Structure 1
């Protein structure tokens, strides 16, 4: 799809090939594995293979890793990816529109969303639609460059969604939720053995949601279903096969958002419900996935894993973009840009890897070695009508009443494919009982062909990226660590000479200390980081109607602190603080729309005298952000948009009516704070006012 400006080149990245985080890889020795429900103990961060391919505890991992698990999602009603990541340390959720979101971490865009450690970077730079969380057990966040396993991307973060898995025993749940703006939701989860011996197990998760919004004319209906069958094919072999389908039907969605300044340079201030959508606007997305995993015990504690994944993402949209700068007195100066879009993207990827120990120098070490293949095929079409540029009434009077065009004036589009081939290896060297060294290398070759909105989509190159990390453990509960990783990301954006920009190159250096207490139920970390990203495409000028870009170098430095787990018999906590600065190669502050300081908190407390009652709260805070609008007012002065610092408070109360049935009430934005969701683009819209959700859940 096009960005909502005249014939803007799509942001498809030639790095959009299989970029992998092994977030749910299991330890070696298949016969030793227990089939468990995967519901972690409270808010504790579990062991993970994210970043290295080796299953390591947070204390053993030489990078910043955090996790938001199923219990926290259920406690606070985190029913989509944006809700979850809004509470993740160091992650900024950039809600640019109602149905499209960008993300950033450590100053740079996050482009890698993965499921069970496999996935592709966003083809269009961000997430489209509303990703439901019903089918996931937890969401892992690896901050910094993930070049060892991802190869392509930015030195920001990788988000890994870990699917629910079948359980040995029969168990299930069913829930109903009602909320503000007539929101209604049903979800169900059933898991257990499919034969008498329990060697074949299955799980099915389904969810459906329908509701209006605080925004004029906006409504969202979505449903998802996920199923998996897992079979032990003997003592040494396990096969898992599964599929999922999620469909979103959004009506009255915004394409672009509200103008943030008047022609005299002063800031606009609309009602929070204001929307630029037409009454016929809609955006339908459908995300179908299938996967197969085969794990084979090779003996001597070695294990071979084959993972195959398929994804098809379809979009069908008729949208209404509003552009221009309104006059402060009359509200006039806005114009129409209706358009229709259709796209189909298919992704196929495979990962084959072996893990196991080896002896050298009288000590046992660990090794991961693997190869990957990924391919994405994209077909996008955009249609336009003859009425682009029609003057519109002031937004204060806008009702969405606009004649639906025929979208037959002209069309444009993109058809391209990208193939990636990767070989990688990781070794964990047991230098002493206290000191571990992790080294790795990734070699990736990317080829692409086709055309992207009139521009040839041709690329063929390869790059080798290293990783090195060290962890020194002392007093069994503390560890010092350091790591360095590189990453790269080919681009398709053109400069003003219509030449393709060089690939993004990035690196991340990190130094920190970690701790774990209370039988590893509490994890904490403090990290100093320096992330560098060169050749990032930023909007420059137009050549005709084509948006062109310029390469920008930037360096982000800062620190992060987070703590998660059960810090008392009745008290759970997941909290983090990030502070950073972002400088361009000329030493000036850049990307000022990214908050420099953020704080995230989610906590619950079970009342000892009344253990059926659990109380909780969430708090997110960010400091002020500013956007240079690259425009001048009527007096010739530069225009800047500023969103002051703000905090959002949420409160939760949960009551166990019976041991199997509980009711949960969540109140969001308790103080009813008015704020702009994001200044990532020149336009923006307001976040939701105070709202509530009441859930009733039965488990067996």
Structure 2
């Protein structure tokens, strides 16, 4: 068991002093270790042969290869590190995995990621967890993406991404504020130097149809200007009653070599999600007598007039400047504009045990609109420095973000005449329920809050000795918020919040390393203490030790990690008042401990695999098991094989297994349980020629019936057995 980290709660001055000293010393060393200061050291030191950095890349491109691994990643620290050099648990879902198993949405990708659970609470709103905490940090090309409410509206299409990288544990160095769960980093496809194109068409169960096109290459004879255009469209009914979806996607990106040392990239993504027959909340999981409802898989709690439409625009501008002497400067500005529009019906409480009916007073309706606008900017320099006979890598930067979240909800009052009909047993319901005809006339609840965060950060990969490497960094942050959401103040203010990062790696051989890391993340709080000041941020701390190895001649990465993750200084009410406001104090929060084992890459010629097993213990401050809706045992595995004797053929399988989960009922005695289950998916593809490939996917081949989540006191069932056939032409 890993020893507990120093706690902020209880005012341990020594622990706080040590933590701040570590962060300040690391940040100071990065500044002092800049090229100008180290020049004198370099002049007198014997240096090893160096590698010139011509352009910055977050990691190697995975499209066009069968690989289930990447050789390099920078999600955790912005340093270019191999998975073995990264002192945290890292997993990547590559382009090959996405295409092999038709992982067309973020939910599909994360359901294939070791250590991550996808909490599908509603048809169009999803939460994600890792190591016992909600994932609250997303990145696109390494640039943090603020995530209000820790959830995603609609489906994020993956057609524009080369891969998705996930770093588990506290990731405050690059993510800023959030939970100590994980960071999910989407790496976009980029223009290519050689012309290429592809078109794919697929059809599947429930009348699903998808068309995708991708074209890239140089736009001038010299190849100094390059472009890429990706378009995708999907429409489908669903296994759930009344549910249907349409999704459109366009992504365009241009990059130009403005000079021999300057690269400018400009891109924009548009995505439209239109869903009809969507659920707000889900199905009651027990009746008024506490009996499990056990609905049919296709049962839905959505009326026939419900819908949820989400339109997203995301633009970005990047400028990369080669500074010479193996250093580069990169600046990025990105803008997100998301609009949501939906009509909803929600069921409160359980159905009547005798009749299965749900009364009108157990229902509420809403017309909900949301506008989320975000600006994020980052400027950083990265490069190599030779000192003391070794080559070290440094990165120093600053970033800024502003996120404004506006929401409006209209709720019909008792003046709305529903005719007293309520709902019949949901298994027999056809979706008929009166639709309000004048939403604008009903009482309106609004929310409007703006969150700003800015920081300076630095990180270094330092070669301490022949087998010893130190990866260390620190982030200094300022964050503030104004406004309110549904009558609850969002105001908070954080100054000079220091987030340290430290990892030590020891190479026990040419192919294996031991590592230990200490990482943090913070989360601002809106509550006040006795003095009227905001409670200090929640302190998320991760400690991890493990073994990483490059196996099978370096074609696969394996890892074994033992971790402890906790939240400290969580606001708890004291029962006191300061004027009209409640007074809070900091207290211990949730602690999770566990083990993770992963393997990713080529195991033998033609055989690719990505496998992960996670064991978790999650306890509250009193040592009692909590968040019991999260599996304690979790397996994620994908594999494919291309036989040498018939290399036009590829076959594969995906396994998602979890053990029993449960939750205490909100309005009845007892617990709701979901037994352990395994979902097995199979795939096969065949190259009819160098240009044409056909594939077939069969998901949930055993037709398992399972609830998609127990995070809430409601839920719905996952998809039964279904198939997808696809043809792809490439150039």
State the TM-score, normalized to the length of structure 1: 0.91
Judge conservation of contact 2:698–2:724 (CA < 8 Å) in 1.
yes
Taking the aligned partners of 1:571 and 1:215, their CA distance within structure 2 comes to 36
Which residue does 1:609 correspond to in 2?
Answer: 645
Which residue does 1:377 correspond to in 2?
Answer: 404
- Closer/same/farther in 2, CA of residues 227 and 465 from structure 1, 3 Å limit: same
1:398 corresponds, among 415, 429, 441, to 429
Does 1:600 pair with 2:670? no
Equivalences for residues 580-659 of structure 1 within 5 A: 580-632=616-668, 638-659=669-690
Judge conservation of contact 1:36–1:168 (CA < 8 Å) in 2.
no
Which residue does 1:520 correspond to in 2?
Answer: 554
Equivalences for residues 211-360 of structure 1 within 5 A: 211-334=236-359, 335-360=362-387
Which residue does 1:457 correspond to in 2?
Answer: 490
Taking the aligned partners of 1:652 and 1:455, their CA distance within structure 2 comes to 49
- Closer/same/farther in 2, CA of residues 159 and 675 from structure 1, 3 Å limit: same
**SS of alignment partner, residue 98 of structure 1:** coil
Taking the aligned partners of 1:153 and 1:461, their CA distance within structure 2 comes to 13
Question: Could you tell me how far 1:41 is from its partner in structure 2?
Answer: 5.0
Does 1:161 pair with 2:186? yes
Does 1:128 pair with 2:153? yes
Question: Could you tell me how far 1:450 is from its partner in structure 2?
Answer: 1.5
Which residue does 2:80 correspond to in 1?
Answer: 55
Structure 1 gaps of 5+ residues are 1-26, 540-547, 633-637
- Closer/same/farther in 2, CA of residues 492 and 340 from structure 1, 3 Å limit: farther
- Closer/same/farther in 2, CA of residues 275 and 481 from structure 1, 3 Å limit: same
Which residue does 2:701 correspond to in 1?
Answer: 670
Question: Could you tell me how far 1:630 is from its partner in structure 2?
Answer: 3.1
**SS of alignment partner, residue 282 of structure 2:** coil
Taking the aligned partners of 2:614 and 2:568, their CA distance within structure 1 comes to 22
Question: Could you tell me how far 1:502 is from its partner in structure 2?
Answer: 6.0
Taking the aligned partners of 2:184 and 2:59, their CA distance within structure 1 comes to 25
Taking the aligned partners of 1:278 and 1:355, their CA distance within structure 2 comes to 54
Judge conservation of contact 1:218–1:250 (CA < 8 Å) in 2.
yes
Judge conservation of contact 2:53–2:383 (CA < 8 Å) in 1.
no
**SS of alignment partner, residue 148 of structure 1:** helix
1:489-512 residue CA offsets vs partner (Å, 9 max, x unmatched): 1245899xx998763321000001
Question: Could you tell me how far 1:431 is from its partner in structure 2?
Answer: 0.6
RMSD: 2.5
Question: Could you tell me how far 1:602 is from its partner in structure 2?
Answer: 0.5
Q: Which has the larger radius of gyration?
A: 2
1:98 corresponds, among 123, 136, 144, to 123
Taking the aligned partners of 2:58 and 2:223, their CA distance within structure 1 comes to 12
Taking the aligned partners of 2:606 and 2:268, their CA distance within structure 1 comes to 38
- Closer/same/farther in 2, CA of residues 535 and 131 from structure 1, 3 Å limit: farther
Equivalences for residues 156-195 of structure 1 within 5 A: 156-195=181-220
State the TM-score, normalized to the length of structure 2: 0.87
1:252-287 residue CA offsets vs partner (Å, 9 max, x unmatched): 000000000112212110011111101100000011
Which residue does 1:7 correspond to in 2?
Answer: none
Question: Could you tell me how far 1:28 is from its partner in structure 2?
Answer: 6.6
Moved more, 607-616 or 340-349: 607-616
Taking the aligned partners of 2:57 and 2:523, their CA distance within structure 1 comes to 37
Question: Could you tell me how far 1:83 is from its partner in structure 2?
Answer: 0.6
Moved more, 561-570 or 179-188: 561-570
Taking the aligned partners of 1:121 and 1:601, their CA distance within structure 2 comes to 30
Question: Could you tell me how far 1:677 is from its partner in structure 2?
Answer: 0.3
Moved more, 586-595 or 604-613: 604-613
1:481 corresponds, among 491, 500, 515, to 515
Question: Could you tell me how far 1:474 is from its partner in structure 2?
Answer: 2.9
**SS of alignment partner, residue 99 of structure 2:** helix
1:310-336 residue CA offsets vs partner (Å, 9 max, x unmatched): 101110111111112112221134422
Question: Could you tell me how far 1:120 is from its partner in structure 2?
Answer: 2.6
Structure that is richer in helix per residue = 2
Judge conservation of contact 1:36–1:166 (CA < 8 Å) in 2.
no
2:92 corresponds, among 54, 60, 67, to 67
